Structure 1
């Protein structure tokens, strides 16, 4: 009995310690991706020096998934303007990705996306990023949750968002976060709640921060 309890505790400990958090290095990966109707091998290393958005999603030919991928594709130039790239990844094969991209959008397909769709057929990438559903009783067993990872040019994770399957993610919030992280990278100041480009920022110093707070909170509540 004691041995069984120890094994269970060890499994929980391993699960906890393997969980990714911002400021950690992103796990390396290499996968077959589809872009412009062609398949090719793509790796995390290919995006060194750039911000990268990794979009994990459950399956091709589903419901919320095509709306997300199309939305990110339609705003792709805004990511490029920030020297950022986008990849999307599911457990489907690259053949399934090709078929989905050849399916018209008015029939549930995604059409010609402007960024790669990656195949995590072995499920190793989803597992390393802690987005793989591993509960055999779950209807999404073996699929990815809606994980969104923002990774900087040094391959450091800056943001993690994981949604349950029924709700899609916001392209505009993703762009806002990249702009904010890049601003802090360049200026050393920090971005307050709901910050957007052009807004006032905070100097992370106990004395200098007062210039922000005295201007924003002019009256004591």
Structure 2
């Protein structure tokens, strides 16, 4: 199902997030007009999850400079997110909204709900300013994600969005050469 979400609009949702000491409402409309990352993880107070969220927090300033907002999402409540933020040194570093999805609506909208467990898969979704999903990454529960690789992918997505007719090859990094698909390139790469 995840592959079918590429270039589709984010489905409607309404949730409460813990953000900068407050509880705030977040909807799909908040993802419009800027690049966004929706970062699903199974649960607060676990093992791999804080390492991923801490890594993302360490890269948050650079993401903000790129015009990207991050929304972490688990099926925990916003109250649980606050308690985790208040008690974990790693999670205290987080400045992005921590969205509660206790009903699983958002996790189901993005196709990452593990129904039998009531938890979300490790899913990362990059959404463009038009609200369309451009990147999807889903990892098994025991495999943590790397925020620096996410940054590279977002830079590539932003480059392609700003340069119609060009594409970014494997391992592309900002400043590297791109490709302009054409009949002349067929069989030459």
- Band the TM-score falls in, shorter-chain normalisation: over 0.9
- Matched ranges for 1:1-221 at <5 A: 20-105=4-89, 110-134=91-115, 136=116, 141-188=117-164, 189-207=166-184, 209=185
Question: Which structure shows the higher strand fraction?
Answer: 2
Contact 1:27 1:128 in 2 (8 A): yes
Structure 2: gaps of 5 or more residues: none
Structure 1: gaps of 5 or more residues: 1-15
Runs of 4+ in structure 1 over 3 Å off: none
The 3-state SS of whatever aligns with 2:91 is coil
**Given the two structures, how large is their TM-score scaled by the length of structure 2?**
0.93
Of the two structures, which has the highest relative contact order with CA contacts closer than 8 Å and spacing of 6 or more? 2
Offset, 1:198? 0.7
- Rg comparison, structure with higher value: 1
The 3-state SS of whatever aligns with 1:100 is helix
The 3-state SS of whatever aligns with 1:204 is coil
Contact 1:58 1:143 in 2 (8 A): yes
Offset, 1:47? 2.7
Aligned residues: 187
In structure 1, C-alpha distance between the alignment counterparts of 2:142 and 2:158, rounded to whole Å? 30
Offset, 1:77? 1.0
